[in-house]
Amino acid sequence: MAKLRISVDHDICVGNRMCETFASKVFVINENGQSEVADPEGDTEENILEAAENCPVSAITVVDEETGETLFP
């Protein structure tokens, strides 16, 4: 599996917590109620991309670490 670089833009994240429901080991909610990346290898690429796609405000970016390709958005 490709190594992923995942980030959450905290200017945008509204704490909807949907990412957590799709990949709960990868995305955890911090004290401000916003999402943080805890373990980028905590779930399958498919689930991580599904989490990113279902963030209602597109706050999540997923990049393939090796090729530099942006997988989402």
Partner 1 sequence: MVTSITDDMFTGEAIADPYSYYGKIRDEDPVYWNELYELWVITKHDDLVWMTRNHELFSSEFWARDKRPPYPAIDESDMGLYAYMREFFMDWFIQHDRPVHTDQRKVVHKWFNPKSMEMWRPMVQQVIRDMLDEADQNGKMDVMKDFATPLPLFIIAQMMGMPYQDRQFIRSMAEKLLFIGRGEADRMQPLVDGIKELQDYLAPMVDMHMDLPTDEDNLLSVLTSGGKNGVLTRDEVIADAILLLLAGHETTINLICNGTLAFMQHPEQWQLLKEDTLDSPNAVVRATEECLRYDPPVKSIQRIASEDVELGGKLLKEGDRIRWFISSANRDPDKHPEPDTFDITRWPNTHVAFGSGIHHCLGATLARLEAQEAFKSLAERYDKITLETDEFEYQPSVTFRSLKNLPVSLENAAP
Residues in contact with ligand SF4 by the rule CB under 6 A: 8, 13-19, 27, 34-35, 55, 57, 59-60
Which secondary structure element, helix H or strand E, spans residue 60, and what is its range? strand 60-64
* Beta carbon nearer to ligand SF4, 45 or 61: 61
Task: Find the length of the chain.
Answer: 73
Q: Which does 59 bind (CB under 5 to 8 A by kind): ligand SF4, partner 1, none?
A: ligand SF4
Measured from the CB of residue 70, what is the shortest distance to partner 1 in angstroms? 14
d(CA 5, CA 43): 13
Q: Which residues have C-beta within 8 Å of that of residue 21, sequence separation ≥ 6?
A: none
**Interface residue list for partner 1 (CB under 8 A):** 11-12, 14-18, 21, 32-34, 53-58, 73
